[in-house]
Amino acid sequence: MKPRNLTGVWVSALLVLLIGATQAQAAIIWAGTSYVELDASDASAGTAVWTNTASDPTIGNFNIVGDPAKVAIDTAPAVYFDGDGDAYVSTGNTPGDLTGAGDRTVEAWVYNPSIPAEDTVLSWAKRGGPCGTNWSFGHGTHGEFGALGAWCGEDLGWNGAPSAMQWHHLAITYDGTTTRVYADGAEKNSEVVTLGTHADLPIKLAVQHDGNGVDLSMFGSLAIGRVRVHGGALSASDVLNNYNEEKAGFPLPPPPVPQDLTAAPVHRWSFSETGGAGTTLVDSIGGANGAIIDLDGNPATGGTVGGGQVTLTGGGKDTSDYVELPEGLISGLTDGTIETWATQHTVKNWSRIFDFGKGTNEDYIMMSWTRGTDINLDRVGIRIDNVEHCVDETMAPYTLDTEFHIVMTIDDDGTIGGDTLITVYKDGQFAGCLETTFNLADVEDLANWIGRSMWGDETANASYNEFRIYDYCLSADEVLGNYGAGADTVTPEPATLALLALGGLALLRRRR
């Protein structure tokens, strides 16, 4: 009998051990006691009682408040909270090692359609102080408390909030000394803080308790796919491990691919004229011609058109120049897109890219070049009957003397909950969005202005290369296609688009 070769056996055994160790290391890591484990894939998610599968029963299950809905986002199960009364609240109160100055970790998979200053993911304790007594983990843009609202100087911001319209693994840890926040496995910000969190209140999803600890407030408008609350602080490597372990279940949206338009604009101003105040600006598609208006009566300092651009000098609202377009351009639309190629030359206080509305500060839809005079912020907003829904954008600020491709799309039922979604693109890339219950039909557009504000803000010092309106929402692919094509180009040309709309595709092919 030949002697048995054991080398292969030992190698196989070693591989089994290594694979087993790797699999064990890749499992979800817990720090301390497992107090909350909620998964939107569970059959109870979105029902009256969301089952908490954590190993410690102290917190209990979570009872529904309002009408949060079970949805699927990019194939991932989620519970969507509409920001207007939706929440889940635990049946039991927060245990002692999560209150006071106890160590803790919160992990959540979050999809946020638009990001306000403060948007609640999960909380316990209550608002109102003293300092360090609240515990509200959020996905907000506010630099001081967008990530943690602990009250006073113990708050923490994201140092650049994770982007809207995609899944993120968000985590916050507190080790008794330092609070740290993580997005997609990477640490975003940290701060040494002193906490003394209020006790005897439940854990809440998408809402906080007010200062009395009685009423619910600060409802979050977002979707949550999974939540864990630990009775200890995860390390940075533990957070990364948990993100990597679960990220395949929360896919990123595919990147946009440039695409031709599916329909032509309904209005198009190419600014091919030459002249100053009073010059007619031709709408080559819809016949809604505009004009340059100069309020100071001085042609030497007023707006001009030439070389394919309108240039506004900027200044006081009642003494400066702007472009006036006819009324009724957008109020008859259900969905729509407003598109321009434009350049800001100097910063003017709250100056507008465009502002369409009643001519007063009651009803309008607008985009600003800056927030006040802060060039690193700009605003997108819609205001109806003196109620404004707005968001301040921080992505791709409008650098002076640089032309930007700027697009706003308005989708009447584009949000997860079926409300209106306003989306902004800069140079072909998603830059932010705003959820609102208002729609285009609510805007009484009797005054449609380029460069001028419905308020008393300054008029823009800017040049506009082209301005278009569509009666549908351009897709991200179409926006990227238009950015690549540039101003003065419609792809395909309107005549081709008209034939396609009439089913003339076969005819076009034969002509080629």
Phi-psi region of 59 (alpha: psi -120 to 50; beta: other; left: phi over 0): alpha
Per-residue confidence at 3, pLDDT binned at 50, 70, 90? Answer: very low
Look at 3 and 239; give whichever has higher pLDDT: 239
Cβ neighbours for 276, distance < 8 A, ≥ 6 positions apart: 292, 294, 299, 302, 303, 304, 305
Other C-beta atoms within 10 Å of 275: how many? 15
Cβ neighbours for 225, distance < 8 A, ≥ 6 positions apart: 39, 40, 73, 76, 77, 78, 79, 108, 109, 110, 111, 167, 249, 250
pLDDT digits (tens, 9 = 90+) for 41-81: 999 999 999 999 999 999 999 999 999 999 999 999 999 99
What 3-state DSSP class applies to 489?
coil
Q: Name the amino acid, one letter, at 294.
A: D
Per-chain mean pLDDT for the chain: 91
Q: Name the amino acid, one letter, at 502.
A: L
Contact 213, 201 (CB under 8 A): yes
- Strand ranges for 313-413 from DSSP E: 321-325, 336-346, 352-357, 364-368, 378-384, 387-393, 403-411
pLDDT digits (tens, 9 = 90+) for 204-234: 999 999 999 999 999 999 999 999 999 999 9
**Span 30-249: which CATH code?**
2.60.120.200
Question: Where do the structural domains in the chain lie, given as residue ranges?
Answer: 30-249, 267-509
- Note whether 30-249 and 267-509 share their fold: yes
pLDDT digits (tens, 9 = 90+) for 189-208: 999 999 999 999 999 999 99
The share of the chain scoring above pLDDT 70, in percent, equals 91
Of 363, 341, 336, give the one whose Cα is nearest residue 353. Answer: 341
Give domain 267-509's CATH number out of 1.10.1200.10, 3.40.50.720, 1.10.260.40, 2.60.120.200: 2.60.120.200
